[in-house]
Structure 1
Amino acid sequence: MRTSSSNIPVAERAEAAYLGLAIGDALGATVEFMTPHEIRVQFAASQGVHRELIGGGWLRLKPGQVTDDTSLSLALGAAILTADGRVEPLACAQAFEAWMRSKPVDIGNTIRRNLLAFRRTGHPVAPPSEHDAGNGAAMRVLPVALATLGCDPATVAQAVLDQAHVTHNNPVSDAVCLLLVRLLQAALRGRSLPQLYRTEIQPFIQLHPYCALRPHRRDNPSGWVVETLQAVLQALLDTSDFEECLIDVVNRGGDADTTGAIAGMLAGALYGLDAIPRGWQQALDPRIATSCRGQAQALLALAPGS
């Protein structure tokens, strides 16, 4: 297993994580809701593997276009920057609601329902619900991880939950969001994948056995945050570089834009900018690429540990 070099600057890792989020989103959107068999048939000309940012999919995207995973993350990042690095539930809810009014290309049912409730009531925290264990809060945690790098664990956890509970007030979603931020921040600091497994992933699974990794591939993962996490961690642990990880996870099908986005942010933080294929960087929507790069640096500049 190739491990991340500890010599990569934090600023580069942050930028790679944000670009990785967008690239994984754009790559996975092409095959979202497809099964692995359907992907192999459709991409028979490329040995049954989807590996390029070509757009299309059920959303009929342009090449390099992203979905709600990236656009909602950017909305959250903008809200955090406006609040000088603070994660405030009302500011997050207002940013998300404005994003919804902009008619995004896609929006999850749980996010839509709870943002409509915020529009009616003005209350920025969704009610607790055992049914809201989707991956919509987990896919957008990167701005929080960047802005709180170096904060004490309690402050980081509160910030993670403050953004998550605007749309997903659920203990399973909470646990995954908190894990992802811990993984991101450890990777940003130069920790290797084996170290992340030993200090974060393995203890998490012991505490949450329903998230245990399967002995075989987690194919066709749904939007349930547990299946999303399993697919992402399996792809990350079974591969040794950024490109291989993203190709592995999106070709599992299912909710591939979100598994791609989360795997992309983690792999970007682990492996750095040079590990992201130049062709993928060039194919990404240039406006999105500029926004991701800019937010990564701006958020990191506000973090006490940058």
Structure 2
Amino acid sequence: MSTSDDKALGSWYGMAVGDALGQSVKGLKPETVKQYFKTVDAYHDVKPHIGKGVKRYRMKGLYGVQTQAALAVSEVLLATKKPAPEAIADVLMRMGANGPEGYFGVFRRPEGCFYKTVESFLNRMDMAKSNEPYAFGATFSVALPIAAYMKRNSVTFRTQCVELARLFSIHPWEIVGTALTGFLVTRCLELQSASQPGALKHLFGDAVAFCEEVETLLQVEHGDAWHAVEKDPQAFSKTLRELETRYEPGQCDALGKWIAENASRFTGVDIVHPTQGHALTLLPFALLMLVDVPGGFGAVLTATLNYGREADKLGALAGAWAGALYGFDAIPDAWRSGLVNAKEIKARGEALARRKSWKGDKDLVAMELGLTNKEAEERRKFLPKETKKTAKKPAPLDDLWLGEEPRESISQLKEDPYKWRQFERDKAKKKRDRRRNPGFPE
């Protein structure tokens, strides 16, 4: 395998590894990540922490919807050599059709905007153009198979990324962010590994120039998307331009705070953390980590995932870019071997890198259904068990307050806490009724 192919495979495999590593700390605060796991340097088992911060069971080493969406795109791309949105929509609908209880088809932990979009395919007049105005970075990963396949930026590359993003959202930020996700892979494929913090600072400027190209493309060819929302459609290029100006090595926390404040200014919504689920926070922050953290694939991904929260999205982004920069062989052996379904992920990645038609034995939908069923079966062991208790029938106490109670009755009542509480409640109710209705019979 050539160096170019190895790095393209690294990008694809790095996406899946980052997604899977991020599953264990998804939704957790950085302090909680440190408390539970110290650092994200392995596929962690969430079983000891279910109900104590981790709400749902996640199979150790298994990727989620970020990689699954990319797999759907790769399925079409390898079969037809084009990421046709209509064909991808068909694959996604089949993936969302059947699955175990508590899941949307075979998909694992998709956001509401994702399954709402997939469900909308059946009723669309124009399949390739979504009217969903979300910008949560939910589908950035769909551009990664195109980047691994084409390996370079071009007019065709930009057009295909934009058209694919339009399948999911009409929001210009989601569209620009999706295309930029793929572009940064192609750019990292051309670069040498970074040994010093800030050695890749020029990536901010490269990203700005690409964003401006895509924003122009949207304005000219996708006017409905350009004017879809009242927010500034050039927010991505403006954000990255200012981030480049502000960047100083070793200032990730301070710059992360600025990223959140900047996103709040553009959205009009109070965004507190750069790892919250928004297009204008997740992509700039993941890029910041790639630029600021030297030391190889593992160092970049661990530093990024230690921030928790939207860890699956951050992991997919940082893993794809770091994999493209450092190559497949730079991914730690334990992470490569510990990835569930590693053989199939690698085989599809090799086919993308070599631009070969896929002739795999496993059907994508059947493969993902098997994995989701397995996780669901394990998850059932950790669901809270319903306790079936027969309700106690309260003893009739209506006559206990009608006259002076003998000491024996009061003593007997006090021996049964349930009866005593019932007696006190009923006594208070009778007193209240007497006050409200003086004619209440004594």
TM-score using structure 2 length: 0.60
Give the Cα–Cα distance (whole angstroms) in 2 for the partners of residues 98 and 92 of structure 1: 10
Kept in 1, the 8 Å contact 2:276–2:310? The answer is yes
Kept in 2, the 8 Å contact 1:15–1:293? The answer is yes
What code does the residue aligned with 2:71 have? L
1:196 deviation in Å?
5.2
Q: How does 1:264-303 map to 2 (within 5 A)?
A: 264-285=319-340, 287=341, 289-302=342-355
Verify: 1:49 aligned to 2:52, yes or no.
Answer: no
Pick from 46, 50, 63 the counterpart of residue 66 of structure 1: 63
What code does the residue aligned with 1:283 have? G
Tell me the percent identity: 22
Equivalent residue for 2:143?
Answer: 141
Kept in 2, the 8 Å contact 1:15–1:292? The answer is no
Verify: 1:75 aligned to 2:72, yes or no.
Answer: yes
Relative to 1, partners in 2 of residues 1:166 and 1:59: Cα closer, same or farther, differing over 3 Å?
A: farther
Q: How does 1:1-306 map to 2 (within 5 A)?
A: 9-43=3-37, 48-56=38-46, 57-83=54-80, 85-101=81-97, 102-121=105-124, 123-129=126-132, 131-150=133-152, 153-190=154-191, 194=200, 197=203, 199-201=205-207, 203=209, 208-211=237-240, 212-213=242-243, 216-217=252-253, 218=256, 219=273, 221-240=275-294, 241-285=296-340, 287=341, 289-302=342-355
What code does the residue aligned with 2:134 have? D
Give the Cα–Cα distance (whole angstroms) in 1 for the partners of residues 82 and 211 of structure 2: 30
1:177 deviation in Å?
1.8
Relative to 1, partners in 2 of residues 1:235 and 1:51: Cα closer, same or farther, differing over 3 Å?
A: same
Give the Cα–Cα distance (whole angstroms) in 2 for the partners of residues 291 and 190 of structure 1: 28
1:108-161 deviation per Cα after TM superposition (whole angstroms, max 9, x unaligned): 2112111111123364234345x41111221221111122335x7221111102
What code does the residue aligned with 1:49 have? T
Q: Which moved more, 1:14-23 or 1:172-181?
A: 172-181
What code does the residue aligned with 1:266 have? W
Relative to 1, partners in 2 of residues 1:239 and 1:140: Cα closer, same or farther, differing over 3 Å?
A: same
Higher RCO, Cα 8 Å, sep 6+: 1
Q: Which moved more, 1:260-269 or 1:180-189?
A: 180-189
1:175 deviation in Å?
1.5
Equivalent residue for 1:4?
Answer: none
1:12 deviation in Å?
0.7
Relative to 1, partners in 2 of residues 1:142 and 1:14: Cα closer, same or farther, differing over 3 Å?
A: same
1:202 deviation in Å?
5.5
Q: Which moved more, 1:196-205 or 1:260-269?
A: 196-205
Give the Cα–Cα distance (whole angstroms) in 2 for the partners of residues 14 and 125 of structure 1: 27
Q: Which moved more, 1:94-103 or 1:72-81?
A: 94-103
Give the Cα–Cα distance (whole angstroms) in 1 for the partners of residues 175 and 204 of structure 2: 21
Equivalent residue for 1:3?
Answer: none
1:220 deviation in Å?
5.5
1:295 deviation in Å?
1.7
SS in 2 for 1:141: helix
What code does the residue aligned with 1:92 have? I
SS in 2 for 1:60: coil
Q: How well do the aligned residues superpose, as a CA RMSD in angstroms?
A: 2.5
Aligned length: 288
1:232 deviation in Å?
0.5
1:8 deviation in Å?
6.9
Give the Cα–Cα distance (whole angstroms) in 1 for the partners of residues 349 and 106 of structure 2: 25
TM-score using structure 1 length: 0.85
Kept in 1, the 8 Å contact 2:149–2:353? The answer is yes
Kept in 1, the 8 Å contact 2:162–2:176? The answer is no
Give the Cα–Cα distance (whole angstroms) in 2 for the partners of residues 199 and 292 of structure 1: 32
What code does the residue aligned with 2:36 have? Q
Give the Cα–Cα distance (whole angstroms) in 1 for the partners of residues 308 and 300 of structure 2: 14
1:276 deviation in Å?
0.9
SS in 1 for 2:151: coil
Kept in 1, the 8 Å contact 2:7–2:328? The answer is yes
1:103 deviation in Å?
2.6
What code does the residue aligned with 1:76 have? V
What code does the residue aligned with 2:353 have? L
Q: Which moved more, 1:187-196 or 1:131-140?
A: 187-196
Kept in 2, the 8 Å contact 1:30–1:58? The answer is no
1:98 deviation in Å?
1.6
Relative to 1, partners in 2 of residues 1:266 and 1:216: Cα closer, same or farther, differing over 3 Å?
A: closer
What code does the residue aligned with 1:210 have? T
Give the Cα–Cα distance (whole angstroms) in 2 for the partners of residues 198 and 117 of structure 1: 35
What code does the residue aligned with 2:355 have? L
